[in-house]
């Protein structure tokens, strides 16, 4: 097990979007996109979309349930149900060689540091989480700036950090 968890968008939130075709918290319509180039990743299973694989685009608050004020932005998910990424498994290979922006947050949603990473993604995660100021990290697309997933300390590390 790695020293971190990769937390995707909650399946129950996406199931509601798939059912209602409406963005959570905002009521904006979710857009079904059936024709597109391959690329991007589903924010639930964290796998890359194949060309023309139906996907939904909707407004999502990356701080939902964690902090206020909200920071809504567009995300993609598979239009059909998919297997959610297990947070306790390592970062999917798709993200290991892909540039990503990490925004490390502390108490009260305070941005501690922002880094654009082009290689050694796991090393960057370990480095950011080594700081006691950092509570969690948002991964964002370097190109579009949209939210990808959240990185947290592994459960036993988070427990140890709160005892200190």
- In this structure, how many other beta carbons lie within 10 angstroms of the beta carbon of residue 126? 13
For the chain, give the mean pLDDT.
90
Residue 83 DSSP symbol: P
Distance, CA of 4 to CA of 10 (rounded, Å): 17
Structural domain harbouring 30: 5-78
Summarize the confidence of residues 79-100 as an average pLDDT. Answer: 90
Phi, psi of 81 (to 5 degrees): -55, 140
How many domains are contained in the chain? 2
Q: What percent of the chain lies above the pLDDT cut of 90? A: 72
Q: Assign residue 129 a region (left: φ > 0; alpha: ψ between -120 and 50; beta: otherwise).
A: alpha
156: confidence class by pLDDT, cuts 50, 70, 90: low
CA distance 104 to 34: 34
pLDDT at residue 164 greater than cutoff 50: no
Rounded to 10 degrees, the C-alpha dihedral 130/136/138/139 comes to: 40
Determine phi and psi for 41, rounding to 5 degrees: -135, 145
Q: What is the DSSP letter of 89?
A: S
**Which of 49, 78, 107 is where one domain is finished?**
78
Q: What is the pLDDT of residue 18?
A: 98
Residues 93 and 156 in one domain: yes
Q: pLDDT digit string (tens) for 132-144? A: 999 999 999 998 9
CATH of the domain at 63: 3.30.1740
pLDDT tens-digit readout, 1-17:
478 999 999 999 999 99
Domain stops at, among 29, 55, 78: 78
The pair phi, psi for residue 74, each rounded to 5°, is -80, 140
| pLDDT tier for residue 38 given thresholds of 50, 70 and 90 | confident
Question: Both 42 and 100 in a single domain?
Answer: no
Residues 16 and 68 grouped into a single domain: yes
Whether 70 and 106 map to the same domain: the answer is no
Give mean pLDDT, residues 112-128: 93
Q: Which of 57, 158, 143, 154 is nearest to 101 (CA)?
A: 143
Domain identity same for 74 and 138: no
Is pLDDT of 74 > 50?
yes
Residues 68 and 91 occupy one common structural domain: no
Residue 92 · residue 100 · CB < 8 Å = no
Are 94 and 74 in a shared domain? no
């Amino acid at each position: 097990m790695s020293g971190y968890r990769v937390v995707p968008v909650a399946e129950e939130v996406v199931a509601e979007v798939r059912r209602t075709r409406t963005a959570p918290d905002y009521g904006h319509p979710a857009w079904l996109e059936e024709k597109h180039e391959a690329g991007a990743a589903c924010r639930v299973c964290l796998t890359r979309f194949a060309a023309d694989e139906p996907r939904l685009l909707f407004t999502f608050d990356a701080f939902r349930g964690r902090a206020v004020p909200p920071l809504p932005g567009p995300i993609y998910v598979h239009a059909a149900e998919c297997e959610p990424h297990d947070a306790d498994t390592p970062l999917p290979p798709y993200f290991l060689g892909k540039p990503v922006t990490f925004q490390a947050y502390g108490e009260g949603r305070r941005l501690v540091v922002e880094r654009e990473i082009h290689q050694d993604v796991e090393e960057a995660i370990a480095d950011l989480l080594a700081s006691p100021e950092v509570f969690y990290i948002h991964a964002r697309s370097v190109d579009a700036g949209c939210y990808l997933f959240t990185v947290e300390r592994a459960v036993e590390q988070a427990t140890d950090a709160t005892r200190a």
